[in-house]
Amino acid sequence: MSGPTTRTRATMSDVAAAAGVSLKTVSRVVNQDGYVSAETLATVQEAIQRLGFRRNEFARQLRQGTTATIGLIMEDVADPFYSVLTRAVEDVALAHNYLLLSASSNEDASRSRQIVESFSSRGADGIILAPAQGTDPAFLAAEIAAGCSIVFVDRIVPGIEADTVLADNAGGSCEGVTHLIAHGHRRIAFFGDDASVFTAGERLSGYRLALADAGIAFDDDLVMLAAPTRDDLEDGIDRILDLEDPPTAIFAGNNRWSVRLLRHLKSRGEIATRGFVGFDDFELSDVLEPGVTVIAQDPATMGQLSADLLLRRVGGDRRAFEQVRLSPRLVVRGSGELPGPHA
Amino acid sequence: MSGPTTRTRATMSDVAAAAGVSLKTVSRVVNQDGYVSAETLATVQEAIQRLGFRRNEFARQLRQGTTATIGLIMEDVADPFYSVLTRAVEDVALAHNYLLLSASSNEDASRSRQIVESFSSRGADGIILAPAQGTDPAFLAAEIAAGCSIVFVDRIVPGIEADTVLADNAGGSCEGVTHLIAHGHRRIAFFGDDASVFTAGERLSGYRLALADAGIAFDDDLVMLAAPTRDDLEDGIDRILDLEDPPTAIFAGNNRWSVRLLRHLKSRGEIATRGFVGFDDFELSDVLEPGVTVIAQDPATMGQLSADLLLRRVGGDRRAFEQVRLSPRLVVRGSGELPGPHA
DNA sequence: GTGAAAGCGCTAACAC
DNA sequence: GTGTTAGCGCTTTCAC
């Protein structure tokens, strides 16, 4: 294999030579700064066209000390929650002429750290971070001290002060479970991510809170905590569904779990046999029969708000950190209103 | 508002001063290049730690003339097809220590061009591009001439030679429509993107081909071509469904159209009343009742292949351009097997 | 209106 | 083993 392609872009001095002017004059034309005679302007512009010159942003940024770059690190772009959030951040970045770097941590703290370092050493002014479980606070603190602003989205790292955009996970979860209870369910299964994932912990608390409010004892047998992407969960799910005193309703802790569970239920031939509420909306939740009742988050708004906060911060804003909690909305569609035995 | 935050990262010479050695020695430590005495090494590493030094990638890249950066430009990350593709590209890039820049063109040629320019001026060695309709070939040609490799994914720009990863759109579409015909349908509606979108044109050809093969006349009244994200399509859809000689089956040209149509059908109270096949799979297609028969693409493989091709190309490979056509798979789930009147 | 020189933070080439 | 010098492509400062 031969060596890497060396890019052969024309430089400013190439243009200057071609146009028979000094480098600085070209710079003036490119940056529309200072006065250039109409004639020189035309000559230089022609040379720029002809050579296909494009300013090297690295060199410019190196000299100016600014980068106009922000980063976004989430668990997985392929998750619809994050892909919608990403798109919203993209749009804000583009509108402000910022470059957006984004990457998936795959819920791996060391990969996440590697990405943060990569973005930071590329001069990102700030990073919107949905921290993977196990993220080292000391590392982040050093990053912040070095001048890279952090905005947490969806999750936080305890002990690190930063602007934050979160959903009210416990509240939403509590509302969803309470909704099931109101429809006559007392045996409600909970499926969620590892409790070490920030949102999962909060959502589990909400579940427990709702049970406690209704005077229902918490039963560990009804709870399953695992990454919904694992492929060895079927037995565990069946074990819960087939308990001696089985759940008459199910609460899914995120959209991945919802999809997984609905698929599993269908494979068991169970359509609409148990109450179902999921945290986070997903595509086709309204087309399934019955429609799936969810606690809907608003990932686009979460993305937009976090980008706004970050741009404000990297713009030099010094005010106290903001902690935004967005209330998710209960969207009633049918699956959560199936009557339980106590209805 | 005060000025932008100036990042206050320590530089190599800061570290050198702190450690009482020369800049070059620090460089040696950072790059693990050349010999450094154990003692000096320790001193320098301590200083690096203490000052929170991180090498400035811009300066390094400027000096070395390499960037190890690639770009990905697609229509919309929030579309599951592209988000899965993006994730695959990310993984390849990360594995090769490349930085990935990605952005959504929003199907807008000028936004797309702006993004290409932005990536290119940031030294991207190459770009994986799903070109928006109306992309200017001359512009791309200039970009390529300037040393930025292009790999087309999902779509091409006619007249531009480049490595290409496409689905067999016409073939897949033809297979899907033929499948409906085999189940007794002769009135089959087609809903797809504007024909100016590359994939939409190919898929429409496949539809026509299947009809022709079966000796069925093409009927313009059964065809609707529009961006499925528009919010004024309901009447047009109804007009087709309510034709005097109405379609007994529907072919959806992409996953967005499938979702849109299934939702529309449900709102009309029509579940499983017409045959349905969609191009491109989507989440929950298997959980709907009946399951939705689709022509499944493989966006992850498309992403991975295009990233492999691009990295090979930017690595200096000079062999002839490759044109990969991936055959989509017919996945039978029920909706496409509902019998038509001629079954 | 235009240009020459210095320097952003780093690495390459060559001393010592 | 370590240091010095030059220069990547650009902007800044100041001179003409």
Contact (Cβ atoms closer than 8 angstroms) between residue B129 and residue B111: no
Non-local (6+) Cβ contacts of B319 within 8 A are none
Q: Cβ separation of B101 and A99 shorter than 8 Å?
A: yes
A1 falls in which pLDDT band (50, 70, 90)? very low
Sheet holding A293-296, edge to edge: A223-225, A188-192, A249-252, A275-279, A293-296, A329-331
pLDDT at B5 exceeding the cut of 60: no
pLDDT value at residue A20:
92
pLDDT in tens, A89-106: 999 999 999 999 999 999
Distance, in Å, from the CA atom of A68 to the CA atom of A97, rounded to the nearest integer, reads 7
**Backbone φ and ψ of B155, nearest 5°:** -145, 165
User: Mean pLDDT over residues B96-109, rounded?
Assistant: 96
Strand B223-225 to B188-192 pairing: parallel
pLDDT at A306 exceeding the cut of 90: yes
**Backbone φ and ψ of B34, nearest 5°:** 80, 180
A6 falls in which pLDDT band (50, 70, 90)? low
pLDDT at A308 exceeding the cut of 60: yes
**Chain A to chain B, count of Cβ pairs less than 8 Å apart?**
197
Going by C-alpha positions, the residue among A216, A224, A132 that lies closest to residue A174 is: A216
Which residues on B lie below 8 Å from A255 (Cβ)?
none
* Site from B12, B56, B58 to mutate, A interface, most A CB atoms within 10 angstroms: B58
pLDDT value at residue A3:
41
Which residues on B lie below 8 Å from A65 (Cβ)?
6-7
DSSP state of A328: P
CA of B45 to C1' of C9 (A): 19
A272 falls in which pLDDT band (50, 70, 90)? very high
User: Mean pLDDT over residues A291-320, rounded?
Assistant: 96
Q: Is B25 exposed, middle or buried (0-12, 13-18, 19+ CB in 10 A)?
A: buried
pLDDT in tens, B17-34: 999 999 999 999 998 887
pLDDT value at residue A251:
98
CA of B229 to C1' of D12 (A): 49
pLDDT value at residue B330:
98
Going by C-alpha positions, the residue among B208, B222, B216 that lies closest to residue B250 is: B222
**Backbone φ and ψ of B209, nearest 5°:** -60, -45
Count of other CB atoms within 10 angstroms of residue B321:
12
Instruction: Match 């909400």 to its residue by tokens.
Output: A206
CA torsion sign for A72, A77, A82, A86 is positive
Over chain B, what is the mean pLDDT? Answer: 94
User: Mean pLDDT over residues A103-130, rounded?
Assistant: 95
pLDDT value at residue B66:
84
DSSP labels for A74-111?
ES-TTSHHHHHHHHHHHHHHHHTT-EEEEEE-TT-HHH
CA B296 to chain centroid:
15
Q: What is the pTM of this model?
A: 0.94
Non-local (6+) Cβ contacts of A267 within 8 A are none
CA of B62 to C1' of D8 (A): 5
Q: Is A39 exposed, middle or buried (0-12, 13-18, 19+ CB in 10 A)?
A: exposed
B83 falls in which pLDDT band (50, 70, 90)? very high
Q: Which of A46-60, A88-102, A217-231, B315-329 is predicted with the least confidence, judged by mean pLDDT? A: A46-60
pLDDT value at residue B34:
77
Is B31 (CB) below 7 Å from strand C? yes
pLDDT value at residue B150:
97
pLDDT in tens, A151-208: 999 999 999 999 999 999 999 999 999 999 999 999 999 999 999 999 999 999 999 9
Q: Which domains does chain A have, with CATH numbers?
A: 12-55 (1.10.260.40), 67-167+299-327 (3.40.50.2300), 169-297+330-337 (3.40.50.2300)
Segment of A144-148, A256-260, B21-25, B144-148 carrying the highest mean pLDDT: A256-260
Q: Cβ separation of A87 and B102 shorter than 8 Å?
A: no
B214, containing H or E segment: none
Q: Find the residue in B nearest to A123 (Cα).
A: B56
pLDDT in tens, B266-291: 999 998 999 999 999 999 999 999 99
Q: Cβ separation of A4 and B316 shorter than 8 Å?
A: yes
pLDDT exceeding 70 applies to what percent of chain A? 98
pLDDT at B3 exceeding the cut of 60: no
Is B11 (CB) below 7 Å from strand C? yes
User: Mean pLDDT over residues B296-300, rounded?
Assistant: 98
Over chain A, what is the mean pLDDT? Answer: 94
pLDDT in tens, B250-268: 999 999 999 999 999 999 9
pLDDT value at residue B104:
98
Q: Cβ separation of A259 and B122 shorter than 8 Å?
A: no
pLDDT at B227 exceeding the cut of 50: yes
pLDDT value at residue B146:
84
What the block records as the tokens of A86 is 């990403």
Strand D footprint nucleotides (protein C-beta < 7 Å)? 1-5, 7-13
pLDDT value at residue A7:
56
Q: How far is CA B107 from CA A216, B196, B205, B280, in A?
A: 52, 11, 21, 18
Is A97 (CB) below 7 Å from strand C? no
pLDDT exceeding 70 applies to what percent of chain B? 98
What the block records as the tokens of B207 is 């539809």
User: Mean pLDDT over residues B144-154, rounded?
Assistant: 93
Sheet holding B275-279, edge to edge: B223-225, B188-192, B249-252, B275-279, B293-296, B329-331
pLDDT at B188 exceeding the cut of 70: yes
Which residues on A lie below 8 Å from B2 (Cβ)?
316-318
B147 falls in which pLDDT band (50, 70, 90)? confident
